[in-house]
């Protein structure tokens, strides 16, 4: 598979790096020589130029490409470039409809997806095959992470399930226990499907691995209610969280407003602090602003008198969602110092996310990393389902696939299917006779059937082989 990526920023380079690890052929296009220079270590074809230039696309090898990702910092350029790329491709290969080229457009403004405001579905007039806007995933991931701040990484897995990656402490009752016997120590705990040790790196479990202090364990749970059991098992304790927590959000930004909406929907009292008067007034005048449990304050997020007046130390959750990474870090650390048990923040710079994680005082989410994962999901859509990399264990990938009538896994037991595709099946979605979708563990399923959706863990090096197996 040859993939062209337009935009050699952090997102574009992140996608390129992931694809190179999968042994894909990748070309990067960017008009800035500095961005191209920063990409030298990726072992990609590098093209200095515009994605809206026919010459740039030809030098990148568009006639041989299967996928092109528009990941520049400009939404409008990304959308316009979709139709342009398909036109150039069709001219080169004689494919009038450009059916052989999949185009993915990345946008940051979710309002562009609003059919009431725009010119109908973007895919229709831009000729994009997939539109990636990760704002909802970013909010979802942060909100889930704040439920259990001591879990190192929490990722959504499908619509109803979660991946949890957590480090084993010296106080863990699991030390010395095999991965297959954890349910004998903690009844109803989710199963462990991957493990990373200091000497062995990340790998799938077979049940025989002996858990040691410092290991990273990867659990799959069917609800957030299991998070507390996971933290207890690895020797960590999270403070109690009220059913309707008090929430303070710094920034009436796109993400701040979405987070406010999320917590209002579960019944929380929410206060939003916004330094820009126009942004504050816009939130007040919006549909969200009509909620009586929302208080919007125009003021400096670092004003000690304002924070004291708000009673910041009485909040259950604070979230820094401004567009300034350094300010978000400062706000979160100050809230933590004042006794807020759960603090979260959104960051653009992935390096800063890793630095904040090492400090261990707050829950950071990398906006760009979530976007990279969302792009990879679209790239791997040749297998209908989901795709999720696990940053804590980069050697492991999770994905899903829906079984059609011609799939050779239909009629097989879970054990037989795992042997055939060389990966672990962790969950199965089945519809019952009433059309209700049930998420089941492998032990609850006798045989796989048509329309079942299977969720897998696999090693990244096996991705091509597993995809090919699932296509048959």
Q: Which fold has domain 2-133?
A: Rossmann fold (3.40.50)
pLDDT for the residue numbered 438: 86
Percent of the chain with pLDDT over 70: 97
d(CA 452, CA 398): 17
User: How does DSSP assign 225-261, residue by residue?
Assistant: GGHHHHHHHTT--PPP--SS--EEEE--SHHHHHHHH
pLDDT in tens, 132-183: 999 988 999 999 999 998 898 998 887 778 999 999 999 999 999 999 999 9
pLDDT band of residue 324 (cuts 50, 70, 90) is: very high
pTM for the model stands at 0.86
Task: Please give the pLDDT value at position 11.
Answer: 94
- 386 band by pLDDT with thresholds 50, 70 and 90: low
- 20 neighbors 43 (Cβ within 8 angstroms): yes
CB atoms within 10 A of CB 461: 12
Task: Give the model confidence (pLDDT) of 402-436 as tens digits.
Answer: 888 888 899 999 999 998 888 999 999 888 878 78
What's 247-371's CATH class?
alpha beta
CB 116 within 8 A of CB 336: no
Q: Summarize pLDDT for 205-248 with one digit per residue, the tens.
A: 999 999 999 999 999 998 899 999 999 999 998 888 999 999 99
Numbered ranges of CATH 3.30.70.1450 in the chain? 150-233
* CATH label, 403-471, candidates 3.30.70, 3.40.50, 3.30.1490, 2.40.350: 3.30.70
- Identify the pLDDT of residue 50: 97
8 A C-beta contact, residue 222 and residue 273: no
Task: Give yes or no for residue 355 having a pLDDT over 90.
Answer: no
Give span(s): CATH 3.40.50.720, the chain.
2-133, 247-371
What are 266-321's pLDDT values in tens digits? 999 999 999 999 999 999 999 999 999 999 999 999 999 999 998 999 999 999 99
Categorize the per-residue pLDDT at 61 as very low, low, confident or very high, splitting at 50, 70 and 90.
very high
pLDDT exceeds 60 at position 384: no
- Checking if the pLDDT of 333 tops 60, the result is yes
Residue pLDDT, tens place only, 77-135: 999 999 999 999 999 998 888 889 999 999 998 888 877 666 567 777 889 998 999 99
Domain 150-233 class in CATH: alpha beta
């Amino acid at each position: 598979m040859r993939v062209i990526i337009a935009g050699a920023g952090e997102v574009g380079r992140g996608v390129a790096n992931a694809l190179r690890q999968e042994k894909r052929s990748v070309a990067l296009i960017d008009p800035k020589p500095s961005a191209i220079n920063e990409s030298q270590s990726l072992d990609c074809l590098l093209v200095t130029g515009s994605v809206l230039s026919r010459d740039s696309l030809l030098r990148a090898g568009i006639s041989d490409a299967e996928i092109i990702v528009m990941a520049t910092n400009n939404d409008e350029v990304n959308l316009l470039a979709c139709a342009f790329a398909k036109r150039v491709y069709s001219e080169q290969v004689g494919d009038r409809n450009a059916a052989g080229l999949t185009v993915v457009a990345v946008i940051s403004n979710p309002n562009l997806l609003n059919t009431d405001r725009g010119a109908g579905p973007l895919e229709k007039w831009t000729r994009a095959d997939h539109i990636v806007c990760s704002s909802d995933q970013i909010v979802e991931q942060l909100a889930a992470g704040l439920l259990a701040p001591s879990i190192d990484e929490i990722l959504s897995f499908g619509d109803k399930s979660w991946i949890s990656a957590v480090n084993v402490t010296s106080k863990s009752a699991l030390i010395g226990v095999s991965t297959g016997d954890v349910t004998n120590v903690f009844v109803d705990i989710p199963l462990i499907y991957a493990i990373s040790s200091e000497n062995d790196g990340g790998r799938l479990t077979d049940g025989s691995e002996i858990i040691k202090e410092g290991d990273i364990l990867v659990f799959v749970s069917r609800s957030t209610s299991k998070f507390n059991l996971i933290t207890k098992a690895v020797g960590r304790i999270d403070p109690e969280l009220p059913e309707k927590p008090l929430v303070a959000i710094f920034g009436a930004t796109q993400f701040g407003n979405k987070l406010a909406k999320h917590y209002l929907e579960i019944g929380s009292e929410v206060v939003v602090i916004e330094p820009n008067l126009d942004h504050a007034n816009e939130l007040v005048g919006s549909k969200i602003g009509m909620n009586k449990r929302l208080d919007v304050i125009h003021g400096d997020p670092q004003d000690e008198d304002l924070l004291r007046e708000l009673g910041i130390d009485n909040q259950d959750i604070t979230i820094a969602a401004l567009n300034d990474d350094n300010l978000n870090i400062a706000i979160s650390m100050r809230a933590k110092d004042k006794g807020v048990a759960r603090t979260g923040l959104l960051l653009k710079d992935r390096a800063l996310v890793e630095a904040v994680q090492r400090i261990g005082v707050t829950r950071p989410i990398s906006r760009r990393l979530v976007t990279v994962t969302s792009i990879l999901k679209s790239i791997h859509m040749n297998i209908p389902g989901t795709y999720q990399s696990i940053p804590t264990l980069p050697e492991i990938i999770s994905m899903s696939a829906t079984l059609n009538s011609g799939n050779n896994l239909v009629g097989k037991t879970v054990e037989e299917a795992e042997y055939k595709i060389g990966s672990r099946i962790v969950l199965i979605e089945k519809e019952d006779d009433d059309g209700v979708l049930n998420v089941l563990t492998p032990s609850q399923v006798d045989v796989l059937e048509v329309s079942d959706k299977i969720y897998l863990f696999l090693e990244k090096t096996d991705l091509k082989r597993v995809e090919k197996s699932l296509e048959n």
